[in-house]
Structure 1
């Protein structure tokens, strides 16, 4: 039986509202190496978004490459580029760490045909079986842009992706031995119907996805791009998102992060089992009073905490109060949950537009700011308005340089 380890969407270098997550990455990546050592796969596949940015800082490069080398010492490791990754960097990684220098690391920077290196064959089970892998990195919709239209249409994208996938599958099945070969497809792509987080829904265009029914009929399809671990096909032809190894934002706080251990026999659907990753600092959301937070402190200890505090005056130092209750937590943009107040009344004609200071004061009331706090805030707002009215526009350096050049033009005689 062939064994595959599937991981994805590490997003190394990600920060949470400016807070580095170095310790989190160190913990979960060490867990992945431990699972690989324990499970002893024949092949390890990473389905994209290795880094969070296309130009990762040097410490993040070192961290990711060190872990990938550890994995490659256990089994051949293939990494396909995601939409966050730089194809140029991946080409460089393959040159420096790939098979040309004797290492078992393979970086797929862009869509490649079988002749260009888009299809791999690896021995498994001591040579008794082979894993044949077709690897499809993220393909930008612009690849299928037609000159006759302003943007890539959904139909163009769907047809284009279907064609690229078919090229790889034809190569995958060439000289296929049904008694020996395990077929695997790895892609960084959005499959329509997959469950996304709120942040992914904002970033990801629903039009540019592929339908579940067009996924290939192979033993296992390893998917990347969506952070929530999930199966997107039935048991006949399994396809699964491994998901991110740690929560990237607060929309993922309920996700159970994991990697996937896949066991497969030639010509049969694979058996895939998620292995939990628990090393990262947990993300949590709290809404209530400071007294309630104090009573539930054990639940939020050591978390990244997004807190909305109710029942407090606007001038309360929330970050300080939360730190006193939870010294081991990291408070992310704590805010006051204020109810709209009805003590601000304006006597004006509904058809008449409010002056800006009065409109701002009404806004404060809607946000629940009243009394002395509203007075002080409104007064500061008026002072700022007056300063803007009284001041001349600040000089712009480019305008000053241009004006000086026009006043003192250069001639050949000078």
Structure 2
């Protein structure tokens, strides 16, 4: 029986409203290593977004390589780039720590045809079984633009992805032995219908693929969506492993974990999730200060987002909350405001639409539709993907100053 461990979307370097999460990452990544050491998989797959920024800091680079090296000591470890990752950094990792130096680490920063490293083969069960893995990192719609075209439609992106995927899967099936081989596929992509979190970068429909486009293999390891979930399909076994830490308060109650897949040639796989519990918890509170005082133990040591009722606007709110839960990191404390009884809502209070969808609706109201509107929305989505609203790219001078302050030294006399 072959065993796969699937993890994803670490987002190293992520901060929560300006608060670094280094200790949380160290704790949860150590937990993932411990699970790997205990479960002894034959292969470990990271399905993208290793970093939160395409310009990771030196400390996050060190953290990533240290943990990946620990995982590679357990089993061969394949990492594909996500939409947050830099393909150039992945090429550097592959050069310095990849198969050429024999450390069991494999990095796929850009799409590779099978003959250039897009398909991997690993022995399992002492050589009695063989794992074949096709790897597809994040692919931007720009790849499928035609020089004569001004935009790329959803259909063109989906068709282009099908062609890339078919080439990989076809090569993976060459020489397939049904009595020995187990086939896996990994991709960093949004599958239509998956439940998204608010913390993911907004992407328009030009980045989507249909469930039916996924290959029929033993298991598909997906990255990009932060909420762990199975893809809805009666014929496929595919899962998003999700992020190991809650990325924002919309994920405060989401269960986090890694996926362990047991597979045998010619048989359905057994999929189970190992829950992760490390890292500081994100918690919301709504109520009076007296209620918070009564429940203070529950919020000790959390990232706490409080909404306080029954207080006057001039109350020193943050100070009072800090006195009640001194070990909590308080995020955006606010006073609840009672709505006026005669207030009239002039909007639909349902879920807020994604920015590209809202922009598309705006263009329609302004009379712009068809190819011109799709082109504008595509360009708008690309600009959104270039921006990192919560964690801006580090400023070199700032990073040097921070490193100097953290690693002080005195000259010997």
Question: 2:109 corresponds to which residue?
Answer: 109
Counterpart of 2:114 in 1: which secondary structure?
A: coil
Does the 8 Å contact 2:152/2:206 carry over to 1? Answer: no
Q: Counterparts of 1:177 and 1:109 in 2: how far apart (Å)?
A: 29
Question: 1:65 corresponds to which residue?
Answer: 65
Unpaired stretches in structure 2, ≥5 consecutive residues: 342-413
Does the 8 Å contact 2:197/2:251 carry over to 1? Answer: yes
Q: Counterparts of 1:233 and 1:316 in 2: how far apart (Å)?
A: 49
Q: Counterparts of 2:30 and 2:62 in 1: how far apart (Å)?
A: 14
Q: Counterparts of 2:150 and 2:313 in 1: how far apart (Å)?
A: 49
TM-score, normalized by length of structure 1?
0.80
TM-score, normalized by length of structure 2?
0.80
Flag the structure with larger Rg.
1
Q: Does 1:224 align with 2:240?
A: no
* 1:340 Cα deviation after fit: 5.4
Question: 1:265 corresponds to which residue?
Answer: 264
Instruction: Output one character per residue of 1:221-279: Cα deviation in whole Å (capped at 9) or x when no partner.
Output: 00000000000044642100000001011111121000011100113332111000000
RMSD: 1.4
Q: Does 1:152 align with 2:157?
A: no
Question: 1:384 corresponds to which residue?
Answer: none
Higher relative contact order (CA 8 A, sep 6+): 2
* 1:341 Cα deviation after fit: 6.9
Question: 2:142 corresponds to which residue?
Answer: 142
Question: 1:373 corresponds to which residue?
Answer: none
Question: 1:179 corresponds to which residue?
Answer: 179
Does the 8 Å contact 2:141/2:206 carry over to 1? Answer: no
Counterpart of 1:115 in 2: which secondary structure?
A: helix
What are the residue-to-residue correspondences of 1:352-391 with 2, within 5 Å?
Answer: none
Question: 1:209 corresponds to which residue?
Answer: 208
Instruction: Output one character per residue of 1:123-149: Cα deviation in whole Å (capped at 9) or x when no partner.
Output: 000000010000000000111123344
Does the 8 Å contact 1:284/1:304 carry over to 2? Answer: yes
How many residues are aligned here?
341
Does the 8 Å contact 2:282/2:304 carry over to 1? Answer: yes
Structure 1 residues 286 and 59, CA gap change in structure 2 (3 angstroms): same
Q: After TM superposition, where is structure 1 displaced by more than 6 Å over at least 4 residues in a row?
A: none
Unpaired stretches in structure 1, ≥5 consecutive residues: 343-414
Does the 8 Å contact 1:15/1:21 carry over to 2? Answer: yes
Structure 1 residues 197 and 252, CA gap change in structure 2 (3 angstroms): same
Question: 2:281 corresponds to which residue?
Answer: 282
Question: 1:11 corresponds to which residue?
Answer: 11
Q: Counterparts of 2:300 and 2:202 in 1: how far apart (Å)?
A: 31
* 1:317 Cα deviation after fit: 1.6
* 1:208 Cα deviation after fit: 1.9
Q: Does 1:97 align with 2:97?
A: yes
What are the residue-to-residue correspondences of 1:49-88 with 2, within 5 Å?
Answer: 49-88=49-88
Question: 1:27 corresponds to which residue?
Answer: 27
* 1:110 Cα deviation after fit: 0.4
